Amino acid sequence: MKVGITGYNGFIGSNLHRFLTYKHIEIIFIEKRWLYNSPKLLAEKIEGLDAIINLAGASINKRWSRKYKLEIYQSRVKTTKNLVKAISLCKKRPKKFISASAIGIYDSTHKHDEQSNYLASSFLGKVCRDWEAAALHAENYGIEVSIVRFGIVLGPNGGMLKKLLPIFKWGLGGTIGNGKQTMSFIHIDDLISILYSILTESIAASVYNATTPYPTTNKDFTITFAKKLKRPHFLTVPDFMLKILFGEGAEVLTSGQFVLPQALIEKNFTFQYLTIDQAIQASLLY
User: CB–CB of 150/100 below 8 Å?
Assistant: yes
CATH class of 2-154+185-211+258-272: alpha beta
- What is the DSSP-derived secondary structure letter of residue 36? T
Q: Please state the rounded mean pLDDT for residues 49-78.
A: 95
108 or 173, which is more confident: 108
Q: Is the dihedral of CA 70, 75, 81, 86 positive or negative?
A: positive
CA separation for the pair 42, 51 (Å, rounded): 15
- Residue 240 pLDDT grade (very low, low, confident, very high; cuts 50, 70, 90): confident
pLDDT value for 252: 78
Question: Which region holds residue 230: left if phi is over 0, alpha if psi is between -120 and 50, else beta?
Answer: left
Q: What percent of the chain has pLDDT over 70?
A: 99
Label the pairing between strands 2-6 and 207-210.
unpaired
pLDDT of 58 higher than 70:
yes
Label the pairing between strands 182-183 and 216-217.
antiparallel
Average pLDDT, rounded, for the chain = 95
> Residue 117, SS3?
coil
Q: Supply φ then ψ for residue 100, to 5 degrees.
A: -70, 150
Which stretch of 72-86, 192-206, 225-239 has the lowest confidence by average pLDDT?
A: 225-239
Question: How many CA atoms does the CB half-sphere of 147 hold within 13 Å?
Answer: 21
